[in-house]
Structure 1
Amino acid sequence: MDISALFLSRLQFAATISFHIIFPAFTIGLAAWLAVLEAMSLATGNPVYRRVFDFWLKIFGVAFGMGVVSGMVMGFQLGTNWSELSRASGPIQGPLLAYEAFTAFALEAAFFGVMLFGRGRVRAWFYLLACILVAVGTTLSAFWILVNNSWMQHPVGFVVHNGVFVPTDWPAIIFNGVVWVRFPHMLLAAYLTTAFCVAAVGARYLLQGRDRAEATVMFRMGLGLAAVLVPLQIFFGHLTGDYVHDYQPAKFAAIEGRWVDEQPAAEVIFAVPDSGSGHNRFEWKVPVLGSLVGSGTLDSKEIGLSDFPRADRPPVLIPFFTFRVMVGCGMLMLMLAWLGTYFARRRKLSEQRWLLWPVAWSFPLGFVAVLTGWFTAEVGRQPWTVWGVMRTVSAVTPSLSTPFVTATLTLYVVAYAFIFCFGLYYMLKIVNRGVMTDKIIGSWNGNVIAKTFVPDPRFVAQRLKAKSVLAARNTTTRR
């Protein structure tokens, strides 16, 4: 196998996983939020929660289906492009993926249909239970994937026998300390991604002066959740950095853009790393802060990339910049969440159009943060597929040819582009249509709703046509 086939295989896996991860990052949080909305609807009887639920359920159905379809390809790639990894780590990664199917997929497959079609066909408590179990299923899916990936980042609980990783301690693998740092970090990232998508739609409707009750619920709940979760996410992000500092020092040095040992170490805020010369261009750094970030002291010694052979160094440019983009997205989310929550609590949203506009355009922030976070973790792990145990060049299928990988890469990119464009078009169409086709006007008092309807002009013609067809059908039946 020539080096270009290896590069193309890495590029192919990066492209497919980058496309796939944006959908779980959205649906994990959305499933949990839908369960909360359904519970609030039952507890309060407020019809606004039900309408917001029904609106986002349509988007959830589309995104969930796209996530399932895009995820299937990665399993095939492990066999076609990364057969040596599958052969060596199969005794560990195979059961972990099976656990995902037995728990997460089983719950999602059993109760997702109830969510979509069960309203009015099952009791209200059972429908709520179905929503909760789908949310649990999506969370379990993320958990098992993070267990699998965390084992590759910090392999424990195994021995090597005839070139195969044989598990010796499943509790150590599943309850790996790294998992309990990375899993909450990913789960919070998914919740924040959803929160900003929801808040962005609410802000857009407020700017347009439509569906104001529903838009206010979206805006307040989305940014209110984010205002609490962003600081928590920053905390778990710091814990994730601690594990990288302790277990993957070469990756940590690449993220920091540190080429030589420093004591005390400075923190590089911005630079353009130059791997060829081994130094940074246009560097801007803060003295001492690097020691505080790395070890929590003001005088610790922090190692640089020059301590590692060139063959063991990760690419520097990608993790260095993607980490800073991720942190920048987090800071923007924190600012918008706190400002939006402050004005929402003071009931002055309608006067803050200067704030509604950036919130309306904030929906990509969570997706960008998730993608750049994964790029930092995965590119920074190079040249290892299983850290310290199996190099990437040893994990790829030996018989791969460049034309074969070029063809499959092109096929995947074209297919994914079509799926993405179609799904995005359909979800935007749902958003543009609005929350309701019938506006409900009246007072809400407990479970009593004044049922006065104002038809939406866009759908009057469709309703009249449907009624005429039904009348004609009934007349034919009588005859």
Structure 2
Amino acid sequence: MNDFLAARLQMAFSLGFHIIYACIGMVMPFFMAVAHYKWITTGNEVYRNITKAWSKGVAIFFATGAVSGTMLSFELGLLWPEFMKHAGPIFGMPFSLEGTAFFIEAIFLGFFLYGWGRFNTWFHWFTGVVVGISGLASGILVVSANAWMNSPAGFDFVDGQYLNIDPIQAMFNDAWFTQALHMTLAAIAATGFAVAGVHALMILRRKNVSFHLHAFRIAATFGAVAALLQPLSGDLSAKDVAVRQPAKLAAMEAHFHTQKHAPLIVGGIPDAKNKDVKFAIELPGMLSFLAHGDLDAEVTGLDQIPEADQPPVSVVHYAFQLMVGAGMFMMLLALMLFVAFRKKAWFEHRWFMRLFALATPLGFLAVEAGWTVTEVGRQPWILHGIMRTRDAVTPMPGIVWSFYLFTAVYISLSIIIIFLLKRQIQSVPALYDQPTLTPKS
């Protein structure tokens, strides 16, 4: 393994782990706030117990997210010094604001965790809401920085120099809104289905059924709403990518040949050598419609992109198909959930809870796949159209050992999280259990 590959793998592994911690950290506080609100307004102690249980989970993911995020900031300077030398002054603002949001989140999380019985009830609830808002803002600001890498703005690039820098324009670049919206909905859907899946599993095991059923409904509702809105966000993103990054769209769809009335590819195995896709289902004209809103519009293929500027087609295509497939399945579960709210007997059937339990990892698989599409689809550029990834890597030798070390740290963090969460779930008090709610076979 050479140092360039090791540097890319280190960033891939670091981002792959951190994105899970970050998504949960920016979404779970809203679940917690809803449960807290329901306790205040109804007086049902089950919601109080849910709030306290979820707040401990929020604290766990806040701590691990802080560690993994700090490591990522070091990695940017360690692995990509040439990139940071030029990019730092341009897109430093969203990172600075993200740090401010992080500190606000930390302060108000402390208020919330230690405010039980000490603050006014509604002020205590408000501190939890601030935790969610600041965490969400933190995530959006980081995505804004990544969007800038896909859509450089806020400077003039003249003779290798970065001139006339405008940090505000850089932060609000052409890609920031679509990426931030898509990522936010993805985080809500992934976290909602993951949390709902865990509670569904506990219901199937007939442990503290009332507690887990109330928690399941809150988490599943969040996940379902986000899953149903996600295709609208995906459509906006696809149209944006078609204009700004045609090579990425072509790789996503394994679209080798420029053509009008371009078909949408479902599945298939890309054959880069023969410029073809085997065993695929083609929907005539649909790619043209999704990319440009016109069934007969011309869609740029990889044949119009210099080979040196093409991303790896197979990786991007498979990741995109996985993301879409997982998203479609979550949409189906979302529709079933809303039917279940009308046919309440569904909540008592084991098959219904089994579906959600099986879907526990599905949202995060979609998130990882989507992030792969975003990052690998931009290659070979670290700053689209301006700086290649190879030109940004550090000349320092021995990066492979850094890759091993950082990977070990992230794996260790994940093991610790699994242990803490398992202990937290098992420690839920057996209060307010109602055996009549136990799912039927």
TM score, norm. by length of structure 2: 0.94
Residues 191 and 223, structure 2, Cα contact 8 Å, conserved in 1 = no
Distance 1:343 1:140 in 2: 33
Which whole-Å CA distance do the structure 2 matches of 1:198 and 1:241 have between them?
A: 29
1:436 aligned residue:
429
Q: Is the 8 A contact 2:210 2:433 kept in 1?
A: no
Distance in 2 of aligned mates of 1:425 and 1:361: 21
- Report sequence identity in percent: 32
**CA contact under 8 A between 1:245 and 1:252: conserved in structure 2?**
yes
* Superposed displacement of residue 152, structure 1: 0.8
2:16 corresponds to 1:23: no
Question: Which residue among 186, 191, 203 is the counterpart of 2:188?
Answer: 191
Q: Give the match's secondary structure for 2:298.
A: coil
CA distance in 2, matches of 1:321, 1:205: 33
What residue in structure 2 maps to residue 331 of structure 1?
328
1:63 deviates by 1.6
Matched with 1:400 is 396
The aligned residue for residue 72 of structure 1 is 70
Corresponding residue for 2:281? 284
Match of 2:437 in 1: none
Kindly state the Cα deviation for residue 430 of structure 1 after the two structures are TM-superposed: 1.7
Alignment partners' CA distance in 2, 1:76 and 1:161: 29
Letter in 2 for 1:178: A
CA distance, structure 1, for counterparts of residue 110 and residue 158 of structure 2: 44
- Is residue 416 from structure 1 mapped to residue 426 from structure 2 by the alignment? no
Other-structure match for 2:438: none
Q: Which residue number corresponds to residue 230 of structure 2?
A: 233
Write the distance in 2 (CA, Å) between the matches of 1:33 and 1:165.
43
- Out of 15-24 and 44-53, give the one that drifted further: 44-53
> Within 2, Cα distance between the matches of 1:302 and 1:187?
28
Instruction: Pick closer, same or farther for the CA change 1:174–1:219 going to 2, 3 Å.
Output: same
1:104-119 matches, within 5 Å, as 104-119=101-116
* Range with bigger deviation, 198-207 or 87-96: 198-207
CA contact (8 A) 1:91 1:166 kept: no
Report whether the alignment pairs 1:425 with 2:419.
Answer: yes
SS of equivalent to 1:348: helix
TM-fit CA distance, 1:418: 1.4
Cα displacement (A) at 1:346? 2.0
Q: Larger Rg: 1 or 2? A: 1
Cα deviation, residue 212, structure 1: 2.4
Aligned AA for 1:436? P
Change in Cα spacing, 1:90 to 1:171, as seen in structure 2 (3 Å) is: closer
Aligned counterparts of 1:387 and 1:207: Cα–Cα separation in 2: 48
Which of residues 47, 58, 61 in structure 2 aligns to 1:60? 58
Output the aligned Cα RMSD. Answer: 1.9
Contact 2:115 2:124 in 1 (8 A): yes
- Which residue identity does 1:43 align to in structure 2? T
Residues 92-130 of structure 1, C-alpha deviations (whole Å, 9 max, x = no match)? 12232112112x112112111122222122222221121
Single out whichever of 17-26 and 34-43 deviates more from structure 2: 34-43
1:52–1:285: structure 2 CA closer, same or farther, 3 Å change rule?
same
Q: Matches of 1:72 and 1:112 in 2, distance apart?
A: 19
Task: Tell me which amino acid in the other structure corresponds to 1:406.
Answer: V
Of 180-189 and 92-101, more deviation after overlay is shown by 92-101
8 Å CA contact retained: 2:204, 2:353: yes
Aligned counterpart for 1:137 among listed residues 126, 134, 139 = 134
How far is 1:159 from its partner?
Answer: 1.9
Query: Aligned equivalents of 1:47 and 1:173: distance in 2?
Result: 48
Quick check: 2:35–2:218 contact (8 Å CA) kept in 1? no
Counterpart of 1:159 in structure 2 is: 156
Q: CA deviation at 1:167?
A: 5.4
The alpha carbon displacement at 1:304 in A equals: 0.9
Is the CA contact (8 Å cut-off) linking 1:29 and 1:192 kept in structure 2? no
Q: State whether residues 29 and 194 of structure 1, in contact with CA within 8 Å, keep that contact through their aligned partners in structure 2.
A: yes
Match of 2:119 in 1: 122
- Find the aligned partners of 1:172 and 1:268 in 2 and give their Cα distance: 36
Describe how 1:75-86 pairs up with structure 2 within 5 A: 75-86=73-84
Q: Is the Cα–Cα contact under 8 Å of residues 200 and 353 in structure 2 kept in the other structure? A: yes
